[in-house]
Structure 1
Amino acid sequence: MLSGRFYFKYWLIAALACILSAGSAFAALPKFLGGSGVGVKGNKANLEDTYPTFWDSLMKSQSYTNMYQGIKELSLSKYAEASKSFAKAVIKNPDDPYPHIFLGISLYWQGQVDQAMSEYRAALKLDKDNAHAHQLLGIAYAWKGDINSALASFKESIDIDPDRPDTQMNIGSTYAALGDYEEALFHFRNAVRLDKTHPLYHYQLGSLYEVMGRDSLAESSFKKALRLYPNYEEAILALAVLSEKQNSYTNAEINYKKALKIKPGDSVARLRLANLLARENRKNEAVEIISRAFLISPLSDEGLALSISYSGGDSSQGSGPQAESEN
């Protein structure tokens, strides 16, 4: 399978930027009307709330302030603080779906997935056609292992906004997890078509090609990812595995060493390189490669590998809480 939960969580980082760039919540702050409930001509605000009172305007203004504060805290990984800011925004502006959405995101990153899903559902009650809320709900379902519900949510999102590459990638990853590789390929290609500059999309497409046994196309996609991001350790590791499968041991060794230079704590790259050296009767070098692993703390930067595991033999990858001309 592909990177599964790793991809879904990786995507959330990009999702924040996408939501903000779309401008749905912040494209233009409301032009608050009236003052103390009195219009320009001195007429009292009508009882049907055709336009907001001063109190409404004040609460919405403060809600946006809380939202901006929460987003700043999210960017600093201060998730608990962000939750408090977004909760204040919800209270002050309960009819806006976006405070619920961002509160859900901050809860998700604290591991409170069920509470996050409640916030996404609250947003959808306010705006049933909110593609962001549908997509985030799908991510939460995927994290919980409910792939079919995730697929349903991603379909809702993609029906509303089919031109978002991240949505295409998410629904493709879900189809891949279900073993429907042809449908996954359709959506992965769409993601690359919509955004040719995102290295992750090329990497995911390459991973799918490898699963499908299309190694030459996989290699091409991994190389495209590396042209966009030369230090993409997972793509380098994927190329090393492909080279080893093709009995190109020199290239495999070079790429394993490149991967370890970027992420010394990648135990899979280290073990595969050691095995490769052992097969070539370079046992002293193999022992040195393995011994080095014991000197790396898993909590240090060099011990934090992007991929937790990667097995080239069955073209699988695992992780924890993720118009082309090719045919």
Structure 2
Amino acid sequence: MKRTLALCITLFVAAVLPGAVRAADNAKSAPVDSLSLLERAVARDSSNFDNLYHLGVMYLDRDRPSEAIKVFGKATKLRPDDQRATVNLGVAFDALGQPAQAQEQYRNALKVAPRDSVAKCRLASSLYAQGKYSEAMGMLREVIQEKPRSYCAYFTLGVAFADAGIYRDAIRMWQQVLRIAPTSPEAVSAKESIEVLQKFVQP
């Protein structure tokens, strides 16, 4: 029963996990006509990094990871040291169910910026999804040590605890998300997940 509930919660919160189809910089979705304009701009000039990057973000926000991979791939060739594009390329690979390629991109981003908490959270999420629990949990704890306000790490740890049936610790992690980033997408999911779990936790 507990395991089943935890699995349901894990699936529910997966919509905002670091490995989910959502751009790493939380860019707001733009109107459809903006997407068309960017597509035309990139078709005219595929050497403009900013246009490629923002087009990739739009594709991710619209659950179009295959197209995101193409434009982020071009963007990373133009600027191999830009970890945002590299992380988002990893996100797109994860969305297509290609964790090895995704993890390679996250690690590439960490070579450029070793303390990038977003890249580490994404990598940990991808590893956890593959069943590499110890490595993922260790990485998340490392993120929290380096950046105590890294809400993505608390959120993912909460998912891991819920999946393991350790509900009190899951709630505690998600409460940290609410405290640190109350307006984030993770906070919305954390709040709803806490409400579900509290029904199964003895006072």
- Matched residue, 1:106: 58
Partner of 1:219: 171
CA distance in 2, matches of 1:222, 1:112: 29
Residue 182 of structure 1 aligns to which amino acid in structure 2?
S
Q: CA distance change for structure 1 residues 203 and 184 in 2, over 3 Å: closer, same or farther?
A: same
Q: Which range is displaced more, 124-133 or 77-86?
A: 77-86
Partners of 2:144 and 2:153 lie apart in 1 by 6
Which 5+ residue runs of structure 1 have no aligned equivalent?
A: 17-74, 249-327
Give the count of matched residue pairs: 189
- Structure 2, unaligned stretches of length 5 or more? 1-6
Higher RCO (CA-CA < 8 Å; seq separation 6+): 2
- Deviation of 1:242 after TM superposition, in Å, equals 4.2
* Mapped contact 1:79–1:109 kept (Cα < 8 A): no
Would the aligned equivalents of 1:103 and 1:116 in 2 still touch at CA under 8 Å? yes
Matched, 1:132 2:96: no
Question: What is the SS of the residue equivalent to 2:114?
Answer: coil
Matched AA of 1:175: L
1:77 aligns with 2:30: yes
C-alpha RMSD of the superposition: 3.1
Q: Flag the structure with larger Rg.
A: 1
In the alignment, which residue of structure 1 is the partner of 2:41? 88
Report if the CA contact (8 A) 2:66-2:96 is conserved: no
Q: Which amino acid aligns with 2:113?
A: D
1:182 aligns with 2:134: yes
The answer as to 2:25 corresponding to 1:14 is yes
Instruction: Write out aligned runs for 1:188-199 (5 A).
Output: 188-199=140-151
Alpha carbons 2:76, 2:85 under 8 Å: kept: yes
Amino acid in the other structure paired with 1:6: V
Distance 1:110 1:247, change over 3 A: closer
Query: Is 1:143 matched with 2:95?
Result: yes
- Which whole-Å CA distance do the structure 2 matches of 1:76 and 1:236 have between them? 23
1:224-303 alignment to 2 at 5 Å? Answer: 224-228=176-180, 229=182, 232-248=187-203
The alignment status of 1:120 with 2:75, answered yes or no, reads: no
How many angstroms apart in 2 are the aligned matches of 1:233 and 1:109?
17
2:4 alignment partner in structure 1: none
Aligned partners of 1:79 and 1:106 also within 8 Å: no
Equivalent in 154, 162, 169 of residue 210 of structure 1: 162
One-letter amino acid of the structure 2 residue matched with residue 221 of structure 1: M
TM-aligned CA deviation for residue 140 of structure 1: 0.7
Give the residue type in structure 2 aligned to 1:177.
Answer: A
* Residue 206 of structure 1, CA deviation: 1.8
Seen in structure 2, the aligned counterparts of structure 1 residues 220 and 149 have a Cα distance that, compared at 3 Å, is same
1:141-184 Cα offsets, whole Å, 9 max, x none, are: 11112222211221111222122211111111101100111111
Question: Residues 150 and 13 (structure 1 numbering): CA distance in 2 closer, same or farther, change over 3 Å?
Answer: closer
TM-score, normalised to structure 1, is: 0.49
CA distance in 2, matches of 1:242, 1:5: 18
- What SS does the aligned partner of 1:12 have? coil
Aligned mates of 2:147, 2:74 — CA distance in 1: 31
- 1:172 corresponds to: 124
Structure 1 residues 155, 76: CA separation in 2 closer, same or farther (over 3 Å shift)?
Answer: closer
